[in-house]
A and B are shown apart, each in its own frame.
Chain A
Amino acid sequence: MAEGEVARMSVAGWAFLAVSWISITALAAFCIARVLKSDKKAGADETPLD
Protein backbone atom coordinates (compact mmCIF):
# COMPACT_ATOMS: atom_id res chain seq x y z
CA MET A 1 0.00 0.00 0.00
CA ALA A 2 1.42 3.37 -0.98
CA GLU A 3 1.51 6.26 1.49
CA GLY A 4 -1.84 8.02 1.45
CA GLU A 5 -3.68 5.04 -0.01
CA VAL A 6 -6.41 4.13 2.44
CA ALA A 7 -8.51 0.95 2.37
CA ARG A 8 -12.17 1.66 2.98
CA MET A 9 -14.38 -0.54 5.12
CA SER A 10 -15.40 -3.56 3.06
CA VAL A 11 -18.65 -5.49 3.39
CA ALA A 12 -16.66 -8.31 4.97
CA GLY A 13 -15.13 -5.83 7.42
CA TRP A 14 -18.56 -4.57 8.48
CA ALA A 15 -19.76 -8.18 8.76
CA PHE A 16 -16.85 -9.21 11.00
CA LEU A 17 -17.30 -6.12 13.16
CA ALA A 18 -21.09 -6.50 13.45
CA VAL A 19 -21.07 -10.23 14.22
CA SER A 20 -18.33 -9.80 16.84
CA TRP A 21 -19.91 -6.81 18.56
CA ILE A 22 -23.44 -8.22 18.53
CA SER A 23 -22.47 -11.69 19.75
CA ILE A 24 -20.26 -10.37 22.57
CA THR A 25 -22.80 -7.77 23.68
CA ALA A 26 -25.65 -10.30 23.58
CA LEU A 27 -23.75 -12.93 25.54
CA ALA A 28 -22.49 -10.40 28.09
CA ALA A 29 -26.03 -9.00 28.52
CA PHE A 30 -27.44 -12.53 28.90
CA CYS A 31 -24.87 -13.38 31.58
CA ILE A 32 -25.40 -10.18 33.54
CA ALA A 33 -29.19 -10.57 33.33
CA ARG A 34 -28.93 -14.12 34.65
CA VAL A 35 -26.67 -13.03 37.50
CA LEU A 36 -29.12 -10.27 38.46
CA LYS A 37 -32.06 -12.66 38.13
CA SER A 38 -30.50 -15.30 40.37
CA ASP A 39 -29.47 -12.63 42.87
CA LYS A 40 -33.02 -11.27 42.89
CA LYS A 41 -34.32 -14.79 43.38
CA ALA A 42 -32.04 -15.12 46.38
CA GLY A 43 -33.76 -12.08 47.80
CA ALA A 44 -31.18 -9.33 47.51
CA ASP A 45 -29.66 -7.00 44.95
CA GLU A 46 -26.21 -8.00 46.09
CA THR A 47 -26.35 -11.60 47.15
CA PRO A 48 -24.19 -12.16 50.20
CA LEU A 49 -22.13 -15.22 49.35
CA ASP A 50 -22.55 -16.50 52.84
Chain B
Amino acid sequence: MADAPVLRTVHLSKLYSDFWGRPRVHALSDLTLEVAPGEVFGLLGPNGSGKTTTIKLLLGLIRATSGDAFVFGQDPRDQTVKNRIGYLPEETYLYRFLDAEETLSFFGRLFGLSRAVIRSRSAQLLDLVGLTGARHRRLGEYSKGMARRLGLAQALINNPDLVVLDEPTSGLDPIGSAEVKELIVRLKAQGKTVLLCSHLLADVEDVCDRIAILHQGVLRECGTVSELLRDDARVMVELDHPTPERLAAVRAAAGDSLLGLAPPRERLEAHFRRIIAATPSRAAAASAPASAPVPARTDPAP
Protein backbone atom coordinates (compact mmCIF):
# COMPACT_ATOMS: atom_id res chain seq x y z
CA MET B 1 0.00 0.00 0.00
CA ALA B 2 1.33 3.43 -0.96
CA ASP B 3 2.13 5.98 1.79
CA ALA B 4 -0.71 8.33 2.65
CA PRO B 5 -0.25 11.70 0.91
CA VAL B 6 1.24 14.50 2.95
CA LEU B 7 -0.91 17.06 1.18
CA ARG B 8 -4.26 16.45 -0.42
CA THR B 9 -6.79 18.83 -1.83
CA VAL B 10 -10.20 17.79 -3.07
CA HIS B 11 -12.11 20.19 -5.33
CA LEU B 12 -10.62 23.05 -3.34
CA SER B 13 -11.97 26.49 -4.26
CA LYS B 14 -11.52 29.94 -2.87
CA LEU B 15 -13.66 32.92 -3.69
CA TYR B 16 -12.70 36.26 -2.15
CA SER B 17 -15.69 38.46 -1.37
CA ASP B 18 -15.98 42.12 -0.46
CA PHE B 19 -17.32 43.58 2.79
CA TRP B 20 -20.93 43.04 1.67
CA GLY B 21 -20.32 39.42 0.74
CA ARG B 22 -20.36 40.06 -3.00
CA PRO B 23 -17.94 37.80 -4.90
CA ARG B 24 -14.80 39.68 -5.93
CA VAL B 25 -12.04 37.30 -7.09
CA HIS B 26 -12.17 33.61 -7.86
CA ALA B 27 -8.64 32.88 -6.64
CA LEU B 28 -8.78 29.09 -6.86
CA SER B 29 -11.18 26.74 -8.62
CA ASP B 30 -11.68 23.07 -8.06
CA LEU B 31 -8.08 22.17 -7.23
CA THR B 32 -7.53 18.46 -6.70
CA LEU B 33 -3.99 17.21 -6.15
CA GLU B 34 -1.87 15.05 -3.90
CA VAL B 35 1.73 15.32 -2.73
CA ALA B 36 3.43 12.13 -1.59
CA PRO B 37 5.86 11.88 1.34
CA GLY B 38 9.45 12.72 0.42
CA GLU B 39 8.42 14.45 -2.77
CA VAL B 40 9.56 17.89 -3.93
CA PHE B 41 6.45 19.32 -5.49
CA GLY B 42 6.50 22.53 -7.48
CA LEU B 43 3.57 24.85 -7.76
CA LEU B 44 4.09 26.99 -10.83
CA GLY B 45 2.16 29.86 -12.19
CA PRO B 46 2.29 33.55 -13.03
CA ASN B 47 1.42 36.23 -10.48
CA GLY B 48 -2.18 35.95 -9.33
CA SER B 49 -2.54 32.37 -10.46
CA GLY B 50 -3.58 31.10 -7.00
CA LYS B 51 -0.29 29.68 -5.70
CA THR B 52 -0.18 31.66 -2.47
CA THR B 53 -3.91 31.16 -1.93
CA THR B 54 -3.33 27.39 -2.19
CA ILE B 55 -0.54 27.60 0.37
CA LYS B 56 -2.63 29.70 2.75
CA LEU B 57 -5.45 27.18 2.48
CA LEU B 58 -3.03 24.36 3.22
CA LEU B 59 -1.72 26.23 6.26
CA GLY B 60 -5.20 26.99 7.58
CA LEU B 61 -4.67 30.74 7.30
CA ILE B 62 -7.80 31.21 5.21
CA ARG B 63 -10.99 29.20 4.82
CA ALA B 64 -11.97 27.40 1.62
CA THR B 65 -15.17 28.45 -0.08
CA SER B 66 -15.73 24.82 -1.05
CA GLY B 67 -13.78 21.59 -1.16
CA ASP B 68 -11.36 20.16 1.36
CA ALA B 69 -7.68 20.35 2.19
CA PHE B 70 -5.78 17.81 4.25
CA VAL B 71 -2.26 17.97 5.62
CA PHE B 72 -0.95 14.70 7.04
CA GLY B 73 -4.55 13.54 6.71
CA GLN B 74 -5.86 16.22 9.08
CA ASP B 75 -7.54 19.59 8.89
CA PRO B 76 -4.81 22.20 8.34
CA ARG B 77 -6.33 24.33 11.12
CA ASP B 78 -5.41 21.65 13.64
CA GLN B 79 -2.57 23.03 15.80
CA THR B 80 -0.86 19.60 16.00
CA VAL B 81 -0.47 19.57 12.22
CA LYS B 82 1.31 22.93 12.35
CA ASN B 83 3.99 21.39 14.57
CA ARG B 84 5.16 19.38 11.54
CA ILE B 85 5.21 22.23 9.03
CA GLY B 86 7.93 24.74 8.23
CA TYR B 87 6.79 27.75 6.24
CA LEU B 88 8.65 30.45 4.40
CA PRO B 89 6.20 33.06 3.09
CA GLU B 90 6.52 35.05 -0.11
CA GLU B 91 7.92 38.03 1.80
CA THR B 92 9.99 37.62 4.96
CA TYR B 93 7.88 39.11 7.74
CA LEU B 94 10.01 39.24 10.88
CA TYR B 95 10.34 41.48 13.92
CA ARG B 96 12.93 44.14 13.13
CA PHE B 97 13.77 44.71 16.79
CA LEU B 98 15.08 41.16 17.23
CA ASP B 99 18.40 39.75 16.09
CA ALA B 100 18.78 36.45 14.23
CA GLU B 101 19.32 34.31 17.32
CA GLU B 102 16.40 35.88 19.14
CA THR B 103 14.18 35.38 16.10
CA LEU B 104 14.97 31.68 15.90
CA SER B 105 14.59 31.36 19.66
CA PHE B 106 11.17 33.05 19.48
CA PHE B 107 9.90 30.75 16.73
CA GLY B 108 11.46 27.72 18.42
CA ARG B 109 9.58 28.50 21.62
CA LEU B 110 6.32 28.73 19.68
CA PHE B 111 6.98 25.12 18.71
CA GLY B 112 7.60 24.21 22.36
CA LEU B 113 11.27 23.36 21.82
CA SER B 114 13.60 23.31 24.81
CA ARG B 115 16.30 25.97 25.22
CA ALA B 116 19.06 23.45 24.53
CA VAL B 117 17.43 22.26 21.31
CA ILE B 118 16.78 25.84 20.19
CA ARG B 119 20.41 26.77 20.88
CA SER B 120 21.89 23.90 18.95
CA ARG B 121 19.44 24.14 16.01
CA SER B 122 19.86 27.91 15.80
CA ALA B 123 23.62 27.54 15.54
CA GLN B 124 23.28 24.86 12.84
CA LEU B 125 20.71 26.78 10.84
CA LEU B 126 22.52 30.10 11.03
CA ASP B 127 25.61 28.32 9.79
CA LEU B 128 23.57 26.68 7.04
CA VAL B 129 22.18 29.98 5.76
CA GLY B 130 25.47 31.83 6.24
CA LEU B 131 24.35 34.23 8.96
CA THR B 132 26.57 33.10 11.84
CA GLY B 133 28.62 36.30 11.61
CA ALA B 134 25.48 38.48 11.68
CA ARG B 135 23.57 36.57 14.35
CA HIS B 136 23.67 39.46 16.85
CA ARG B 137 22.67 42.16 14.38
CA ARG B 138 19.12 43.49 14.57
CA LEU B 139 16.95 42.47 11.63
CA GLY B 140 16.29 46.14 10.91
CA GLU B 141 19.88 46.27 9.67
CA TYR B 142 19.57 43.19 7.45
CA SER B 143 19.48 43.33 3.67
CA LYS B 144 16.54 41.72 1.90
CA GLY B 145 18.64 38.70 1.02
CA MET B 146 19.83 38.24 4.60
CA ALA B 147 16.29 38.48 5.89
CA ARG B 148 15.30 35.88 3.31
CA ARG B 149 18.02 33.54 4.52
CA LEU B 150 16.86 33.98 8.09
CA GLY B 151 13.30 33.32 6.94
CA LEU B 152 14.52 30.04 5.55
CA ALA B 153 16.24 29.21 8.84
CA GLN B 154 13.08 29.88 10.85
CA ALA B 155 11.15 27.61 8.51
CA LEU B 156 13.44 24.75 9.52
CA ILE B 157 13.75 25.44 13.27
CA ASN B 158 11.22 22.74 14.16
CA ASN B 159 12.85 20.12 11.91
CA PRO B 160 9.60 19.91 9.93
CA ASP B 161 8.33 16.94 7.94
CA LEU B 162 6.74 19.27 5.40
CA VAL B 163 8.51 22.41 4.22
CA VAL B 164 6.40 24.96 2.37
CA LEU B 165 8.53 27.47 0.49
CA ASP B 166 6.82 30.36 -1.24
CA GLU B 167 9.23 31.98 -3.71
CA PRO B 168 12.26 30.95 -1.63
CA THR B 169 14.84 32.45 -3.97
CA SER B 170 13.22 35.87 -4.28
CA GLY B 171 15.65 38.54 -3.11
CA LEU B 172 18.62 36.18 -3.14
CA ASP B 173 21.70 36.53 -5.31
CA PRO B 174 22.51 33.66 -7.72
CA ILE B 175 24.77 31.99 -5.17
CA GLY B 176 22.08 32.21 -2.52
CA SER B 177 19.54 30.85 -4.99
CA ALA B 178 21.79 27.93 -5.82
CA GLU B 179 22.34 27.25 -2.11
CA VAL B 180 18.60 27.20 -1.54
CA LYS B 181 18.19 24.71 -4.35
CA GLU B 182 20.96 22.56 -2.87
CA LEU B 183 19.20 22.78 0.48
CA ILE B 184 15.94 21.58 -1.07
CA VAL B 185 17.77 18.61 -2.56
CA ARG B 186 19.26 17.87 0.88
CA LEU B 187 15.84 18.11 2.52
CA LYS B 188 14.53 15.62 0.00
CA ALA B 189 17.47 13.32 0.79
CA GLN B 190 16.42 13.49 4.47
CA GLY B 191 12.97 12.26 3.45
CA LYS B 192 11.19 15.55 3.92
CA THR B 193 8.37 16.69 1.71
CA VAL B 194 8.82 20.08 0.07
CA LEU B 195 6.12 22.20 -1.51
CA LEU B 196 7.90 24.78 -3.63
CA CYS B 197 5.98 27.64 -5.03
CA SER B 198 7.65 29.82 -7.62
CA HIS B 199 7.29 31.61 -10.90
CA LEU B 200 11.02 31.13 -11.63
CA LEU B 201 10.76 28.15 -13.94
CA ALA B 202 14.45 27.25 -13.78
CA ASP B 203 14.30 26.91 -9.97
CA VAL B 204 11.39 24.54 -10.17
CA GLU B 205 12.82 22.54 -13.04
CA ASP B 206 16.11 22.01 -11.20
CA VAL B 207 14.77 20.54 -8.00
CA CYS B 208 11.19 19.35 -8.33
CA ASP B 209 10.03 15.78 -8.80
CA ARG B 210 6.58 16.84 -9.90
CA ILE B 211 5.05 20.12 -10.80
CA ALA B 212 1.58 21.56 -11.09
CA ILE B 213 0.90 24.56 -13.27
CA LEU B 214 -1.81 26.92 -12.10
CA HIS B 215 -3.24 29.73 -14.15
CA GLN B 216 -6.18 31.97 -13.21
CA GLY B 217 -6.86 29.73 -10.26
CA VAL B 218 -7.25 26.59 -12.35
CA LEU B 219 -4.90 23.59 -12.43
CA ARG B 220 -3.70 23.40 -16.05
CA GLU B 221 -1.16 20.56 -15.82
CA CYS B 222 0.32 18.23 -13.25
CA GLY B 223 3.03 15.58 -13.59
CA THR B 224 6.73 14.81 -13.29
CA VAL B 225 9.14 17.30 -14.81
CA SER B 226 10.42 14.80 -17.39
CA GLU B 227 6.85 13.87 -18.39
CA LEU B 228 5.84 17.46 -18.90
CA LEU B 229 8.99 18.60 -20.71
CA ARG B 230 9.62 15.53 -22.86
CA ASP B 231 9.45 16.20 -26.62
CA ASP B 232 9.30 12.91 -28.52
CA ALA B 233 9.40 14.69 -31.89
CA ARG B 234 13.05 15.65 -31.50
CA VAL B 235 16.31 13.99 -30.36
CA MET B 236 19.54 15.54 -29.06
CA VAL B 237 22.97 14.14 -30.01
CA GLU B 238 26.03 14.98 -27.84
CA LEU B 239 29.43 14.76 -29.49
CA ASP B 240 32.73 14.76 -27.61
CA HIS B 241 35.72 16.48 -29.30
CA PRO B 242 33.88 17.47 -32.49
CA THR B 243 36.22 17.54 -35.50
CA PRO B 244 35.06 18.92 -38.88
CA GLU B 245 34.95 15.39 -40.23
CA ARG B 246 32.73 14.10 -37.45
CA LEU B 247 30.41 17.09 -37.78
CA ALA B 248 30.14 16.54 -41.50
CA ALA B 249 29.24 12.89 -40.85
CA VAL B 250 26.45 13.94 -38.47
CA ARG B 251 25.12 16.43 -41.01
CA ALA B 252 25.14 13.77 -43.68
CA ALA B 253 23.40 11.23 -41.43
CA ALA B 254 20.70 13.64 -40.29
CA GLY B 255 20.02 15.10 -43.69
CA ASP B 256 17.05 17.56 -43.89
CA SER B 257 15.82 16.79 -40.36
CA LEU B 258 18.83 18.47 -38.73
CA LEU B 259 17.64 21.56 -36.83
CA GLY B 260 20.99 22.86 -35.62
CA LEU B 261 24.58 22.03 -34.86
CA ALA B 262 26.43 24.21 -32.34
CA PRO B 263 28.66 23.88 -29.25
CA PRO B 264 26.67 23.60 -26.01
CA ARG B 265 26.30 26.72 -23.87
CA GLU B 266 27.14 26.81 -20.21
CA ARG B 267 24.21 27.90 -18.02
CA LEU B 268 24.62 31.46 -16.81
CA GLU B 269 24.11 30.46 -13.17
CA ALA B 270 26.95 27.90 -13.33
CA HIS B 271 29.20 30.40 -15.10
CA PHE B 272 28.48 33.10 -12.49
CA ARG B 273 29.19 30.74 -9.60
CA ARG B 274 32.44 29.64 -11.16
CA ILE B 275 33.61 33.26 -11.52
CA ILE B 276 32.68 34.13 -7.94
CA ALA B 277 34.29 30.99 -6.57
CA ALA B 278 37.52 31.80 -8.41
CA THR B 279 37.73 35.34 -7.03
CA PRO B 280 39.79 35.51 -3.83
CA SER B 281 38.31 37.27 -0.83
CA ARG B 282 39.38 40.87 -0.20
CA ALA B 283 41.74 39.86 2.59
CA ALA B 284 43.39 37.19 0.47
CA ALA B 285 43.53 39.52 -2.54
CA ALA B 286 45.83 41.89 -0.67
CA SER B 287 48.59 39.28 -0.67
CA ALA B 288 47.77 37.61 -3.97
CA PRO B 289 48.19 38.49 -7.67
CA ALA B 290 45.64 40.96 -9.04
CA SER B 291 43.81 38.45 -11.19
CA ALA B 292 43.28 34.81 -10.44
CA PRO B 293 42.85 32.32 -13.27
CA VAL B 294 39.30 31.22 -13.89
CA PRO B 295 39.03 27.47 -13.37
CA ALA B 296 37.84 25.30 -16.22
CA ARG B 297 34.19 24.47 -16.57
CA THR B 298 33.21 21.33 -14.76
CA ASP B 299 29.51 21.17 -15.41
CA PRO B 300 28.74 22.04 -18.99
CA ALA B 301 25.08 21.89 -19.78
CA PRO B 302 23.93 20.19 -22.98
Q: Are A and B interaction partners?
A: no
Which residues on A are within 8 Å of B, measured CB to CB? none
Which residues on B are within 8 Å of A, measured CB to CB? none
